[in-house]
A and B are shown apart, each in its own frame.
Chain A
Amino acid sequence: MNYEFNWMLVLTGEYRDWIIKGLIITLKISGLSIVLSMLLGTIITTLRMTRIKILEWITISYIEFFRNTPLLIQLFFWYFGSYVVLPEVINQWLYAHNYEFAVGVVSLTIYTSAFIAEEIRAGILSIPKEQMEASRATGLSFIQAMSYVVLPQAFRIVIPTLISQFLNLLKNSSLAMTIGVMELTYMARQIESYSFRGFEAFTVVTLLYIAISLIISLGINIYNKKFLRMIKY
């Protein structure tokens, strides 16, 4: 084996800039999708728990459907399908504004929200039902009781599983390269095909993924500890 490593090639100049660009896109697509999938997941779970039959039925179908289809298929589905399904005006607008990125966010959000909805539901079910009852008894509405009493407690319990969903999302965001989103993995692939320095490029990118993952878990854990310190059950 006489492969000569050339780390400087990918750590300087144009290739370095590509990696930085890819990193920024990965952070953007993951960050945006994490926030949106948390929101969507919370809404879906809340609707599911209203005990209104039709809402329950719709949300369960949503969760089962999107949890059980491969993310890659969902990406292609939205990528090719949106233009059949969506009105012309919206398509025009999307094509003018980073269509691939939008499809990536939508797919990752919908896919991950189905998992997050289930995690949050487990958290909610672990909160004694008396908490909901006591808040309703003071005159709070169902939504208010959920927002101020049940969900804040449930979130704290499910933080560890939510972190692993966020990390999955980060890793899954690399699939967005298949529809042409120029994120980290896409860039590594690009460098490889220009320079044949695939090993170096993918090593750097791998380390970057690990670094982001560690930052996400650490950050959330520190945030959570600060709060958990104050609640004792």
Chain B
Amino acid sequence: MIKIENIHKWYGDFHVLQGISEHINSGEVVVICGPSGSGKSTFIRCINRLEDIQQGKIIVEGKDINSPETDINQLRAEVGMVFQQFNLYPHITVLKNITLAPMKAKKIPKKEAEKIAYELLERVGIHEQAHKYPAELSGGQQQRVAIARGLAMRPKVMLFDEPTSALDPEMINEVLNVMKDLAREGITMIVVTHEMGFAREVADRIFFMDYGKILEGGTPEHFFKNPQHERTKLFLKEIL
């Protein structure tokens, strides 16, 4: 479903992604971890083309996302994203945060979009907050709204960039639980996180990134018991 073929990216002189190739299958849950600055965010932001690559190819559902013929807005509707800082729209209600893209980008009628939004809010466990403004919610609740917003476009893939790093410890689990439910429902997910408990429980594969490369990847069992690279061992020792 997602094919990444030898991608390279530079920020000026800085070679941030140095040749990454991976296939991610439909329904797979992939966790990406690695030290700060290794290029994890940059990598997943390339998958919905929030960042451009300079070499290589990214194919999502058979479409080369960097080709000029690809309708970028349509692609992004199929690839949802959740950010570390939630990035909800502060000037509109929770409900409108969720219905905006379906109504404007997909032209879904208001009634129907709201129905979908209520279902999603139910699913992430905060349907009673629909008419509040984002700032009136706790961090954990905001992040769950952000997940609902991403799901509202019925994406085929969801990208998560450190979705729990900005949260107070007591709120991390409410977000992780929602994500675990999604994983079990079979949504394709690519998650940058250092929550190794989450990785162990739901990841099909874990990638370890360092210096713009995926040094190794494998099943959680393999990854935690038998890391191949010294850098991976060192990293695991530090965070576990």
Contacts and interface: CB of A to CB of B under 8 A. Distances in A.
A136 B77 CA distance: 9
Contacts of A138: 76-77, 80-81, 100-101, 105, 149-150, 152-153
B56 interface: no
A118 to B, nearest CB: 22
B26 interface: no
Contacts of A144: 104-105
Nearest to A152: B91
A141 to B, nearest CB: 5
Interface string B148-166: 0110110000000000000
Interface in B109-130: none
Contact of A135 (B77, B89, B135): B89
B224 interface: no
B141 to A, nearest CB: 15
Contacts of B79: 137
A134 interface: yes
A149 B96 CA distance: 11
A129 B13 CA distance: 24
Contacts of B89: 131, 134-135, 149, 153
Interface string B51-72: 0000000000000000000000
A134 B133 contact: no
B91 A156 contact: yes
Nearest to A153: B91
A90 to B, nearest CB: 36
A140 B50 CA distance: 13
A30 to B, nearest CB: 28
A173 to B, nearest CB: 32
Contacts of B152: 138
B87 A139 contact: no
Interface string A140-151: 110010001100
Contacts of A8: none
A232 interface: yes
A233 B74 CA distance: 30
A130 interface: yes
B73 A231 contact: no
A141 B77 CA distance: 11
B153 A133 contact: no
B37 interface: no
Contact of B101 (A139, A230, A232): A139
Interface residues of A, number: 23
B48 interface: yes
Contacts of A131: 87, 89
B104 A140 contact: yes
Interface string A103-135: 000000000000000000000000010110111
Given A137-B81, A139-B74, A139-B105, A130 B87 contact: yes
A152 B96 CA distance: 14
Nearest to B101: A138
A143 to B, nearest CB: 10
Given A130-B87, A153-B90, A232 B135 contact: yes
A135 B101 contact: yes
B136 interface: yes
A137 B73 contact: no
Contacts of A133: 50, 83, 87
Contact of B91 (A135, A140, A231): A231
A144 B77 CA distance: 14
29 contacts: A130-B85, A131-B87, A134-B83, A136-B50, A136-B76, A137-B48, A137-B81, A138-B77, A138-B80, A138-B105, A138-B149, A139-B73, A139-B101, A139-B153, A140-B101, A140-B104, A140-B105, A141-B73, A141-B105, A144-B105, A148-B100, A148-B104, A149-B89, A149-B100, A153-B91, A231-B133, A231-B135, A232-B136, A233-B135
Given A134-B87, A153-B89, A233-B90, 9 more contacts: A134-B83, A136-B50, A136-B76, A139-B73, A139-B101, A149-B89, A153-B90, A153-B91, A231-B90
